[in-house]
Structure 1
């Protein structure tokens, strides 16, 4: 097989997309597949890597640091040279002409949907109902352009269910994975505590140093809901809980978040470079707040769980599907309900909740996602000989 991965609308908030594409691409290459990655960037460039060539196309900025390929015919030229057996497209806009090329040339096409267009537009514009109507119309057109659509959660699946069924386009739910080697629990050592009651926490006591350590990782922009995480910490502080929330990430709404935090002990660290450095900070926390109600999957949730750090999520969104009854807690998407969820989770045995978190993450190795994607691409490879059975 020869798989071309096409990523577009790349920018500062697309870390999860980059992680997923790179992890899948590495898995494809390890399986002996020829892989080509095509992405936008500031200049034209080509690079050979152990996991296949990467072709970068000069692309303009379109706001917020994002770049978008606006010359799809240049992508087609690169594909014709590579001669893929299937393409995997992480884009819902300017690369759609590429799917028509694929159909004309009998090349299989997969839409890998990393976000819900209706929710993303609604959060950014504030016009939720208008975004839903516009996205529904677009999705009815979109699913007819591909041979298959892949989503990562039941929550994401609901965006395409009716449109895919109407068009007869297969819809596959394939959860992503986590690097279980880079994201690991902290070494055993230090004090180990037993159950902590909510009343004890409200008095400001904890099994470590008297402070409940919370962490939030993500882009500081509205579609990622960092405001809700910070407001949850502020609510706990108002109740008298001794805590510290460490926030890792950059974005345009830092000033707003500082205002929401007020006098609560919230520390904004900016971007953390390096996966191991991030893993160490996740592992040092008692609880991770990944509370975005519009998240279609939640790689940050899996990374925290893999570090042995249980997670509080909103009870809607794809992230809520990643935790189970032992590895986290859910609350309504408001600070009071999420604060209650934090206290419920903190009341459990430290050993129990950390072990449960790691065990849950181990159910999502990247190899599972790679294998299922390879099966899908294999089913779209029209160059494979058809097996004819005697009978």
Structure 2
């Protein structure tokens, strides 16, 4: 079956969405299907990858979003979809591409929308009317055959509207690439040369990720007498303001780590990871830290407490609360954190996620039709 997937807000330095698109595409291909991913870019292009065919169509930059582009031209995209003749349509954008759900329904093509963000959470964060999120969520559910949410927290904004076509499918983590065995003593010596505790914040430097909270947590932790340093892996429009905020503190900004091996080494070498985003619907970076044997302190407001479970701490959005949780995690050694964190991550594998998404498409166990 040809599974055509559409996604906006994807760049080479994207975080969890890019990883999910790659892993699911590779899983679909391994299951005998034909995944085709359509994304926006500066110029039109097409290439074959291990995750299937990737078609780039021209899309304008979104101002002040650090390089993200969107597909806005409906007519060319409609022509492309007609040429591709999908057996299934999967969309990872619930705003500008919502019309494609009706396009698929009019042609009898089963469609899935993947809810990678919580509109209720984002609107609450930015002070937008809650009723608008409800209206948009109802419209999304009406446009697509199935809505996939990755956690119960993400699912809740649809369930409370009594939407009948919602399913929950957790994402996964690469348990081979991310492992406690990736610990790097040379990296440890470089980032924490005085034997300090090593904290890591991994994620895009965007307001909804609250990277400022990680810097504030480090400052509060050091004021309490705990020698610690912070490594920030990621980039985005908040970087300059964060660098100013971190002046005088032992914070190193590593930028986007394109090589998975470098990220895996960093996560396995850290003592604790921080994931303070209050509207995360899953949190792949936090799960990658767990797979690396590193506990995570997360915001209690989003879905991350559900993912992290006993392998970390969920706290209120307050630097002092983060510092207290960090002290507790850094002081505990029984049972050892690497074993606890790794066991929690092993509940989430990509093979299970792929099969869950195929079930949402009505394709689990179904023979793949050659094209």
TM-score normalised according to structure 1 size: 0.86
Matched residue SS, 1:292: coil
- Give runs of aligned pairs for residues 1-391 of structure 1, distance below 5 A: 1-11=1-11, 14-63=14-63, 64=65, 65-123=67-125, 126=126, 128=127, 130-163=128-161, 165-166=162-163, 168=164, 170-186=165-181, 210-325=195-310, 327-349=311-333, 352-378=336-362
| 2: CA distance, partners of 1:359 / 1:316 | 24
Shift of 1:328: 1.0
Q: What's the CA shift string for 1:115-138, capped at 9, x where partnerless?
A: 112333444xx3x2x342221121
Measured after TM superposition, the shift of residue 374 of structure 1 is: 0.9
Q: Deviation of residue 251 (structure 1)?
A: 1.6
| Paired position in structure 2 for 1:389 | none
Aligned partner of residue 289 in structure 2, secondary structure? helix
Q: Do the aligned residues in 2 keep the contact of 1:331 with 1:338 (CA within 8 Å)?
A: yes
> 1:66 is paired with a residue of what secondary structure?
coil
Given that 1:290 and 1:313 are in contact with CA atoms closer than 8 Å, whether structure 2 keeps it comes out as yes
Separation in 2, partners of 1:117, 1:142: 11
Instruction: Return closer, same or farther for 1:156/1:383 CA change in 2, 3 Å cut-off.
Output: same
Shift of 1:162: 2.8
Q: CA deviation at 1:252?
A: 1.7
Q: What displacement does 1:314 show?
A: 1.5
Out of 310-319 and 144-153, give the one that drifted further: 310-319
* SS state at 2:293 partner: coil
Aligned pair in 2 of structure 1 residues 283, 333: CA closer, same or farther (>3 Å)? Answer: same
Q: Which runs of 5+ in 1 are unaligned?
A: 191-207, 386-391
Q: Is the 8 A contact 1:249 1:269 kept in 2?
A: yes
The answer to whether the Cα contact below 8 Å between 1:213 and 1:287 also exists between their aligned partners in 2 is yes
The alpha-carbon deviation at position 209 of structure 1 amounts to 5.8
Contact 2:358 2:364 in 1 (8 A): no
| Rg larger for | 1
* Matched residue count: 361
- Of residues 327-336 and 373-382 in structure 1, the stretch that sits farther from structure 2 once superposed is 373-382
| Alpha-carbon shift at residue 351 of structure 1 (Å) | 6.7
Q: Give the drift of 1:80.
A: 2.1
TM-score, normalised to structure 2, is 0.90
CA change 1:343–1:35 in 2 (3 A) is same
Structure 1 window deviating more from structure 2 (180-189 vs 46-55): it is: 180-189
Distance 1:365 1:161 in 2: 25
Question: How far did 1:26 drift?
Answer: 0.6
Deviation at 1:70, TM superposition (A): 0.9
Distance 1:272 1:379, change over 3 A: closer
Question: How far off is 1:13 after superposition?
Answer: 7.3
Q: 1:297 to 1:330 in 2, by over 3 A?
A: same
Give the Cα–Cα distance (whole angstroms) in 2 for the partners of residues 284 and 383 of structure 1.
43
5+ residue gaps in structure 2? 186-192
Distance change >3 Å, CA 139–CA 53, structure 1 → 2: same
Contact 1:119 1:131 in 2 (8 A): no
Shift of residue 83 of structure 1? 1.8
Name the SS of the counterpart of 1:240 in structure 2. coil
Q: Quick one: distance in 1 between partners of 2:27 and 2:363?
A: 17
